[in-house]
């Protein structure tokens, strides 16, 4: 993710969440040195289809944000990005990935469970909600010694494989 990507990122973000990250939060993530990725079509690196932000340290990776543009959802892009993040975290020596997800976010929970994450806790009132607060599920995936699993069905999506997810 580059500063030039931020307008596309913030546009997707604001259309995806009741309480979206602000431009300043994305800028802060870049400044802090978090791993900030965008996924784009190979022939148009300025067309942001999705993005993810992770924070890595002390042998663990924390997934802070993963979002796919509405018009390209259900095409396998989030699964592909998650696989990319797992490989990257593993390559950086992480033993596990952690994340929080709203307990009512069924699509995201399904995505994570399908990728092998398990819920290990609950953070009460973690998120602001339209009325009051909403709990977060704390989920984790611990890498096994044989990772990556050769039988894992994670595949790049088609027909528009986002070849670029490297900045
Ligand atoms: C959650 C999100 C990232 C999924 O992105 P996506 O590219 O559509 O997901 P994929 O196509 O890769 O789907 C992978 C798996 O996730 C699950 N999934 C994704 N969307 C789903 C939905 N709407 N309903 C049920 N399961 C869903 C399915 O298990 C799916 O596998 P399948 O297609 O073989 O059934 C996307 O819906 C999104 O950006 N939502 C808003 C932002 C958000 O909630 N981010 C997560 C914050 S914790």
Residue 162 lies in a domain: no
Is-catalytic flag, 127? no
Residue 151 lies in a domain: no
Mean pLDDT score across all residues of the chain:
91
Residue 41 lies in a domain: yes
Residue 34 lies in a domain: yes
Q: In whole angstroms, what is the distance from residue 64 CA to residue 19 CA?
A: 14
Residue 115 lies in a domain: yes
Atom of ligand 1 nearest to the CA of 65: 47
Least confident of 3-7, 26-30, 34-38, 156-160: 156-160
* pLDDT tens-digit series, residues 116-135: 999 999 999 999 999 999 99
Q: Report CA torsion sign: 81, 82, 84, 85.
A: positive
Atom of ligand 1 nearest to the CA of 102: 48
Q: Ligand 1 center to residue 67 CA distance, Å? A: 9
Is-catalytic flag, 100? yes
* pLDDT tens-digit series, residues 56-89: 999 999 999 999 999 999 999 999 999 999 999 9
Q: 10 Å Cβ neighbour count for 153?
A: 8
Structural domain of residue 127, as residue ranges? Answer: 3-142
Tell me the H-state helices in the chain.
6-14, 23-32, 77-91, 106-114
What is 28-76 written as a DSSP string? HHHHHT-EEEEEB-TT-TT---EEEEEEEETTEEEEEEEEE-GGGTTSS
Q: Report CA torsion sign: 47, 52, 54, 60.
A: negative
Total of domains in the chain: 1
Active site residue: 112, 113, 126, 127, which one? 112
Residue 156 lies in a domain: no
Domain CATH number, residue 75: 3.40.630.30
Q: Ligand 1 center to residue 46 CA distance, Å? A: 23
Q: 10 Å Cβ neighbour count for 14?
A: 12
Q: Report CA torsion sign: 12, 14, 18, 24.
A: positive
Asked whether 115 lines ligand 1 (CB < 6 A), one says no
Residue 150 lies in a domain: no
Residue 148 lies in a domain: no
* pLDDT tens-digit series, residues 18-40: 999 999 999 999 999 999 999 99
């Amino acid at each position: 993710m580059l500063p030039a990507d931020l307008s596309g990122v913030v546009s997707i973000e604001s259309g995806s969440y009741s309480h979206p990250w602000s431009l300043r939060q994305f800028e802060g993530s870049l400044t802090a040195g978090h791993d900030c990725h965008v996924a784009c079509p190979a022939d148009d690196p300025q067309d942001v289809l999705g993005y993810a932000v992770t924070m890595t340290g002390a042998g663990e990776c924390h997934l802070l944000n993963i979002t796919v543009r509405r018009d390209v959802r259900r095409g396998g892009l989030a699964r592909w990005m998650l696989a990319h993040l797992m490989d990257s975290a593993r390559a950086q020596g992480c033993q596990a990935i952690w994340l929080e997800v709203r307990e009512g976010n069924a699509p995201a929970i399904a995505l994570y469970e399908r990728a092998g994450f398990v819920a290990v806790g609950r953070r009460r009132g973690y998120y602001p909600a339209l009325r009051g607060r909403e709990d977060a599920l704390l989920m984790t995936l611990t890498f096994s010694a044989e990772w990556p699993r050769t039988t894992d069905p994670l595949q790049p999506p088609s027909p528009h494989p986002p070849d670029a997810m490297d900045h």
